Structure 1
Amino acid sequence: MKKTLQQRAQALGVADAYWDVDGHYHPIDEAILTYFIESLMRQDTAIQSSRQNNRFDRVKVLPVNSKQTLPLDVVVSEYRLVDERQVIVEQTQKNSLQALSLPALDSGYYTLEMVDVNGNFQRW
């Protein structure tokens, strides 16, 4: 028996939808679910990415409404955090960041875009 996309996502701990605080149901796009499944099933965690292929270097799951500090394996010179509607939540240009302090975030999907001191782009 072939597993559905939702069953495969659930087996990896990825929800196929979420409810926001106002009680609205938000299904996750199948392309996004497929990407998360493929990313989590890869043995190689050092995924190289670029803006052109619209892929993510890493996927992190953070607790809702909890400030977080993300340690980085590169020194970041600037970063931008956007929500699923592409609204900028936080944007900073600093020198020599080795960890990011993120604000308490509501439930949802966010994209963290960073440029390291060598000009390399990463998307989480």
Structure 2
Amino acid sequence: MSIPADLKYTREHEWIKDNADGTVTVGITDFAQGELGDIVFVELEPEGTDFSQDDTFGTVEAVKTVSDLYAPVDGEIVEINEALEDEPELVNDDPYGEGWMVKIKLSEASQLEDLLSAEEYEEVIA
């Protein structure tokens, strides 16, 4: 199981990459996709959607369950990974790469400081 050290994490199993341009890229962790199993559908809120930290920004449907996706920060969706519409299995195959979900324009950059480090996330899933 992979937990890249250069990312931030949430207790709800989202990963966050700071793009250093006022946006972050968000997806679900390798642990989360493994727990869900084969992902068959990803539904994301559209570009332009504003939300607060911990609001739901979409769902992931696996063969046996549906799981909500929670916003790690306040912001606005500025891009969604449209490839997931036709290839939801990208989340299983490459959760930290081609399986990313949304890009969010941050409202409050300081919220990134409150997210978990790789080491802290590893303790959560231990």
The TM-score by the shorter chain falls in which range? under 0.3
User: TM-score, normalised on structure 1?
Assistant: 0.25
User: TM-score, normalised on structure 2?
Assistant: 0.24
Greater per-residue helix proportion = 2
